């Protein structure tokens, strides 16, 4: 089974490599045609022309584009994504610190969003024709009309400031000591047996995860509900009823397994959107992740850092799509034997 999966995914994986290559080239070109000169921004106003030229040479900005790209690529293949122009530290290092934060946030957000979305979709189907369905529907429309950052602001105000029940700054109480391991605090705290720390991490995750999950859930809800309707009209559902099988079993065993397939494709697409939402959520919650890093980098016009962050985003999205494809293949036997 693993081999068939790999075989079918193989095409996807093979395409990803040239895809990343193309993406990095495009990025490189786009970023080098900025209207303002990033080098000049790095130096104080008293800098002389020689200082500017020296800085430019140090970063290699004076060389022709293809050569610059070549240098960068060689470094990238060795894991070195260059130096941040603003902080003079290794881009790879900064990413290694920031990526787990964002990943933890997004993964929890996707999981929570799926839970909410799928239960909402099921509920809307079970309550079809009743007032509860319309109420859920309106609620879901309102939920998706509030973008992540507005939810974040609302949560900070409600649960952080006015009713201070949950923390809204950072990932963990600074007084808690964590041996720096994977960077995924949920895992780290559990692995080191630090239950108090684990709970603290959860409390810090609560608000930001809700902020990204709530706008994500309604899309899932709608697609699941609509595919449940489609599946409900299928002949095999009718026949299962005629064999005397109970409604609950029909819904959960027969219908859900079929209806969930279109939903999975949507999860992949929506999760890609979620990254955009994390930009502001991380700023609002002072979350030390890639989004926060990105906004800072854009404000500083820190090209190497921007390049590194965007490429990382692409890699993550690609891996995510691979996972989505893999789950789709596992759940849909029709594609397996093709």
Partner 1 sequence: MSLLSACDLTLSARLGRTRVDVLNDISFDLAPGEVLGIVGESGAGKSMIGRVISQMLPAGFNVRSGSLCFDGEDLLAASPGRHRELLGDRIAFIPQEPLSGLNPVLTIRDQFNEHLARLGVPRAERRQRAIAALASVQLPRPADLLDRYSFQLSGGMCQRVLIAMAFASNPALLVADEPTTALDVITQAHIVELIHSLNREHRTGIIFITHDLRLAARICDKLLVLYAGEVIESGPASAVFADPRHPYTRALQAANPPLTGPRRQLVALPEQMPGLQALAQVEGCRFGARCPIADAQCRSSQPTLREVGQGHTVRCSPGCEAGARRGDRPLLPQDVALPSTAPIILELGGVSKYYPGNRTWYGRRRAGVAAVKPFDLTIRAGEFVGVVGESGSGKSTLARLVMGLERPTTGSIVLEGKEVAVPGSVAWRHRVATTQMVFQDPQSALNPRRRVIDLLTQAFESTVIPQQGDRAARARELASETGLPADILSRYPHQLSGGQKQRVNIARALCMAPRLLVADEIVSGLDVSVQAQILNLLLRLREERNISILFISHDLSVVRYLCRRVLVMYRGDVVETGSTEDVFANPQHAYTKALLRAVPPDEAGQSWTPLQAEAVDDAA
Partner 2 sequence: MLGSPRVVVGGGLVLLLLLTALLAPWLAPNDPNAQDLVNVLLPPAWATGGDPAFPLGTDNLGRCILSRLLYGARVASYVAITASFFAMLIGTALAVVAGYFRGWVDWTISRIVDVWMSFPPVILSLVLLLAFGAGVNRVVLGIVLVGWTRFCRVLRAEVLSLGRRDFVPAARLLGFSHLRIIGKEILPNALSLIVTLISLEMAVAVIVEAILSFTGVSVEADIPTWGVMIADGRTYIDEQPGALAFPALAIFLAVLGFNLLGDGLRRLFDPRLGLSRSQAT
Residues near partner 2, by CB under 8 A: 15, 19, 22-23, 27, 30-31, 33-36, 128-130, 133, 141-142, 144-147, 149-150, 153, 157, 226, 229-230, 232-233, 269, 272-277, 279-280, 284, 294-295, 298-299, 301, 306, 310, 313-314, 317-318, 321
From 101, 147, 83, select the one nearest 297 (Cα to Cα).
Answer: 83
Please identify which residue in the block is written with the tokens 């799926």.
114
Token pair belonging to 5: 């999966």
- 284 contacts 160 by C-beta, under 8 angstroms: no
The 8-class DSSP code of residue 174 comes to: T
* Exposure class string for 239-267: b at 16+ Cβ within 10 A, else e: ebeeeeeeeeebbeebbbebbbbebbebb
Considering the complex, state which of residue 201 and residue 240 has its C-beta at the smaller distance from partner 1.
240
Taking CA atoms, 3 is separated from 6, 7, 87, 168, 215, in Å, by: 5, 6, 45, 45, 37
Q: How far is the CB of 234 from partner 1 (least distance, A)?
A: 6
Residue 18 found at the interface with partner 1 (CB under 8 A): no
Among 157, 257, 273, 286, binds partner 1 (CB under 8 A): 257
Considering the complex, state which of residue 15 and residue 41 has its C-beta at the smaller distance from partner 1.
15
Burial class of residue 327 (count of CB atoms within 10 Å of its CB; 0-12, 13-18, 19+): middle
Site for partner 1 in 307-336 (CB under 8 A): 331-334
Stretch that binds partner 1, among 7-15, 54-62, 63-71, 303-311 (CB under 8 A): 7-15
Residue 242 found at the interface with partner 1 (CB under 8 A): yes
Residues at the site binding partner 1, with contacts judged by CB under 8 A? 10-11, 14, 234-236, 238-246, 249, 253-254, 257-258, 331-334, 337
């Amino acid at each position: 089974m693993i081999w068939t999966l790999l075989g079918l995914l193989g095409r996807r994986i093979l395409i990803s490599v040239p895809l990343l290559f193309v993406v990095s080239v495009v990025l490189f070109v786009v970023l080098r045609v900025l209207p303002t000169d990033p080098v000049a921004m790095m130096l104080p106003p008293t800098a002389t022309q020689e200082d500017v030229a020296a800085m430019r040479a140090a970063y290699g900005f004076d060389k022709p584009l293809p050569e610059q790209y070549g240098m960068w690529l060689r470094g990238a293949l060795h894991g070195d994504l260059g130096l941040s122009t603003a902080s003079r530290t290794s881009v790879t290092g900064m990413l290694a610190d920031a990526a787990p934060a964002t990943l933890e946030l997004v993964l929890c957000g996707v999981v929570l969003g799926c839970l909410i979305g799928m239960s909402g979709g099921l509920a809307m189907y079970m309550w079809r024709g009743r007032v509860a369905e319309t109420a859920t529907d309106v609620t879901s429309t309102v939920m998706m009309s509030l973008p992540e950052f507005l939810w974040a602001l609302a949560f900070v105000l409600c649960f952080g400031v006015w009713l201070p029940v949950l923390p809204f700054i950072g990932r963990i109480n600074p007084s808690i000591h964590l041996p720096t391991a994977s960077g995924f605090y949920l895992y780290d705290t559990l692995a080191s047996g630090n239950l108090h720390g684990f709970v603290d991490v959860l409390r810090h995750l609560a608000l930001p995860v809700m902020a990204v999950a709530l706008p994500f859930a309604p899309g899932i809800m709608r697609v699941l509900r609509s595919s449940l309707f489609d599946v409900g009209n299928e002949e095999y559902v009718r026949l299962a009823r005629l064999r005397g099988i109970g409604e609950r079993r029909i819904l959960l065993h027969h219908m859900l397994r079929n209806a969930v397939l279109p939903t999975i494709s949507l999860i992949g697409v929506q999760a890609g959107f979620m990254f955009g939402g994390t930009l502001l959520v991380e700023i609002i919650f002072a979350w030390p992740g890639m989004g926060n890093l990105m906004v800072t980098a854009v404000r500083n016009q820190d090209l190497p850092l921007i390049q590194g962050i965007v490429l990382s985003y692409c890699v993550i999205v690609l891996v995510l799509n691979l996972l989505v494809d893999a789950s789709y293949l596992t759940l849909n036997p029709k594609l397996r034997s093709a």
